[in-house]
Amino acid sequence: MANFVDYYDLLQISPKAELETIKRVYKMLVARLHPDNSETGDAEKFMVLQRAFEVLSDPERRMAYDGEYAARVKQPLPSVEPNEVASGVDAEMSRRVGILCVLFKQRQTNPARLGLPLLELEQITKCPSEFVSFTLWYLQNKNYVGTSDNSDFVITPAGIDYLEANLPANTLASGRLESAMPWEREAARQPIH
């Protein structure tokens, strides 16, 4: 599980994507990442892409992968440790970025359910209700988070901008966003001007 790669996220497709969709997205990404492409080629990403395609295009391997995927996505994300909860501004910044990362990934990967309710955010972040509520109050007042018709919390375009601007300085949450945006790892490590 430690080396698990979310192939659906990597290809930026739904876990319910049909084989034709997988093939189409794979072909597009192959052209972009192939090491022979002097502008955007990346041998390491290309190898991961090939492994993803090999697994997702084979019905038996995909079924086995989907079992591991289902177990993996139900696990809570790494979060702020309990002793960090009381450490003030640094912990609050980490919670902000962490919640935005979770909401970013939810919106990007689940078009049928763009947001998450408060209780689920508390479970995912492993933070007490009062801390999550405070963080969401801040994020909503800054227009980084909004609510959907069913009262789920959803990330806004301003929230995505905030996340991108604050990630390089926030190493605690870096892993969360990197798992949410695997193709953007290198860009996220670069300073934003």
Mean pLDDT, residues 114-128 = 82
68 and 18 within one domain: yes
Q: Is residue 26 part of a domain?
A: yes
Cα separation, 5 vs 57, whole angstroms: 16
Range of the domain at 112: 82-189
* pTM exceeding 0.85: no
CB 69 within 8 A of CB 8: yes
Least confident of 142-146, 149-153, 169-173: 169-173
Strands (DSSP E) contained in 39-165 are 145-147, 153-155
CATH of the domain at 27: 1.10.287.110
Q: How far is CA 192 from CA 31, 85, 98, 167, in A?
A: 27, 28, 19, 10
pLDDT score of 184? 38
DSSP string over 57-81: TSHHHHHHHHHHHHHHHTSPPP---
Residue 172 has pLDDT above 70, yes or no: no
Examine residue 2 and state whether it is found in any structural domain, yes or no.
no
Q: Which of 49-63, 99-113, 124-138 has the highest mean pLDDT?
A: 49-63
Looking at the structure, tell me whether residues 23 and 69 fall in a common domain.
yes
Does 89 share its domain with 21?
no
Taking alpha carbons only, the member of 187, 183, 186, 192 closest to residue 6 is 183
Which of 73, 94, 127 is where one domain is finished? 73
Residue 86 confidence (pLDDT) above 50: no
- Alpha carbons within 13 angstroms on the beta-carbon side of residue 15 total 15
pLDDT of residue 128: 79
CATH number at residue 175: 1.10.10.10
Number of independent structural domains in the chain = 2
Query: Per the domain annotation, does 99 fall within a domain?
Result: yes
- pLDDT confidence band for 168 (50 / 70 / 90): low
Q: Percent of the chain, pLDDT > 70?
A: 77
Lowest mean pLDDT among 70-74, 99-103, 146-150, 163-167: 70-74
Same domain as 113, residue 91: yes
Q: What is the pLDDT of residues 8-23, one digit of tens each?
A: 888 888 888 889 988 9
Q: For the chain, what percent of residues have pLDDT higher than 90?
A: 18
Residue 1 placed within a domain: no
